Structure formats: C-alpha cells, structure tokens
Amino acid sequence: MIERIIIIDNADPVSFYGVNNCNMHLLRNLFPKLRIAARGSVIKVIGEESETALFEKKVKELEEYVVQHNALPEDVILDIVKGDAPKEIKKDSVIIYGINGKPIQGRTPNQQRLVEAFAHNDLTFALGPAGTGKTYVAIALAVRALKNREARKIILSRPAVEAGEKLGFLPGDMKDKIDPYLQPLYDALEDMIPAVKLREYMDTKVIQIAPLAFMRGRTLNDAIIVLDEAQNTTTHQIKMFLTRLGMNAKMIVTGDVTQIDLPRTTVSGLVQAMRVLDGVPGIARIEFGKKDIVRHPLVQRIVEAYERDDAARKSAAVAASDTGDGGDEA
C-alpha cells in the first residue's frame, strides 16, 4: 500500500468536486479498492501503486477538462475513467465555456468575424449598438487567450466619462468611486471564470480592470487589452491608449458612435481613430448592426425607434435650412 497526494491547483474546486461532493462519490465508486480523502485542493489516496497511479492520471485528465469547460458532468467522468474520449460539443464557433459549462460562442456572423479578426490582427475595432455582444465576445477572447497561455494577463479598461466633479459625490475611496463605471466588465468575467479563480487572478493582477486614465505611462506586454465604450474617449486619450500596445500583445477596442456622452464640443477619439487608422495593416474593423443584437428582442426595436427619430430630426433640420428658416434643431 502506498499513499499519493494529488494537488488540484488549476481547476475550480466547486466544479471539480460537484454539488455535495457528488463527483468524488462517483470516483470512489469507480475506484472501490482505493481509500480516497479530499480536502480543499488536496486529494489523498491510499492503495496499490498501479491503482493509485491510474487514479492520479485520471484525476489530472478530469482537472484539465474542468479548466477547459468549467464543468464536470457525470458522463464525462465515466468516459474519462473508462478511457473513452468525452463527447465534445462542436467547436467550430465555441470561444470558451462559461462557469456553468455553457459554451460561449460567436452567435451571429459579425460576432464570428470578430473572433476571426482577433486571430489575425493585433488591433481590432468592434463597433455597433448596445446588445450586439461586442464587449462580451471581446472579453471571452481575452479569457481564452489567458487559459491557453497565449497571454500572461488581461487588461480591461473603460473611460470614466464623469471622472470630474460628479465622481466626487460618490461614497468611498477612488476604487469605490470608479467601480460602478467598470461593473459591466466584472459582470462578463463572472460569467466566464469561477469566483475563486477570478478572485485569485484579480489579487495577483493577472486580470486588471482600470479606468482609462490609469493606462498612462504603461507599456503592456504579453497581454490582451480591451478598451470598452471607446466612443467616450477624447482624441488624446485614445492615442495614449493605442500606443500602450507592447510585445506579444493584442488589443480590442469596442464602442458605439451613436452613444457618445462627451460634451458637444469634444470630438470622439474613436471617430477620429477610425478615420486616421483606416487602411493601416494589422488593424481590423468589424461593424455590428441591429441584426446582431442578442439581448431581449425589445432592445432591437428600441434601437430602431431611436434610429427613425434621429433620421426624422435630421430631415427636419435639412428642410429648415433649405427654406432658410434658420431655426435650431429641437
């Protein structure tokens, strides 16, 4: 009899052990000759050398599956222990698997184009209205790169448009004041990375979420960098951000030029960047439309209603100028 100590250091323990340790109960049934005890990330197994070696090999295969899929169904355990390859979901469009094992994938043609553009370019612009999934897909691509060890860290950023006097009225320290602007980024990460692992990544700064102003002076190497809501950057801010790109790094910039919250006299940095960088090799541009909206069906109708209103207002303004009315747009 020998004792082996197996460390589960990559997989989320909750996903690995299952609800009420159901996965460990199944493993004990599949290896009846072994005495198995699990606590936290440590599994202790006692038995014959050949049997414990096989158990360790299978546990490591199960751990690898959990790291990839964020879930460990009973049928997968049975397949791996029996030596069969687990049945895979068709991977053509799967980016990663969410915390419940659900595949996150390019659900529309433009989302899939974003996935392909990211693979072939170091800087990708994703433009389109709310609800098209551009930010969610961008973060999924960043998480995949981290899991596949194609990058050492993820940097997520957003401009805090009201970073002046209005921000000061919020309670708490600077982090407390800024976090509300960054919450959509946290929400996406929480869908993709188990809570314990996400906390570890945040504590060790493998994943960093910061307002755009915190990017100044940095060179970001070996990283996937995502700038969200880029339509609210100034020309100086977006130039500063784009020039942070370091070696073995990629950037995705997302924005919606119909939702610019800057003062009327301020030019959107995203709009200018689209003009200045047009045709530059190594830069891709994906434009999303109403058909890409993957939120509640009502969102698409809301977007269409505002587009009709904008068109009517512009037509009225043109008609007024043609008649020499000179009146201001309502």
Residue 145: per-residue pLDDT: 94
Strands (DSSP E) contained in 8-136 are 35-39, 42-47, 94-97, 103-105, 123-127
CB 131 within 8 A of CB 299: yes
Residue 11: per-residue pLDDT: 83
Residue 235: per-residue pLDDT: 92
Q: Does the pTM of the predicted model rise above 0.75?
A: no
For the four alpha carbons of 182, 187, 192 and 198, in that order, the dihedral sign comes to positive
Mean pLDDT by groups of 10 residues along the chain of 330 residues = 89 84 91 91 92 93 87 88 66 78 86 94 93 92 93 91 48 61 87 88 91 84 94 92 93 92 89 93 92 76 83 83 57
CB 226 within 8 A of CB 156: yes
Residue 164: per-residue pLDDT: 41
Residue 92: per-residue pLDDT: 57
d(CA 218, CA 78): 48
d(CA 317, CA 158): 34
Contacts of 101 (CB under 8 A, 6+ apart): 69, 70, 71, 73
Burial environment of residue 223 by CB neighbours within 10 A (0 to 12, 13 to 18, 19 or more)? buried
The rounded Cα 8 to chain-centroid distance in angstroms is 25
d(CA 169, CA 293): 34
Give the three-state DSSP class for 199: helix
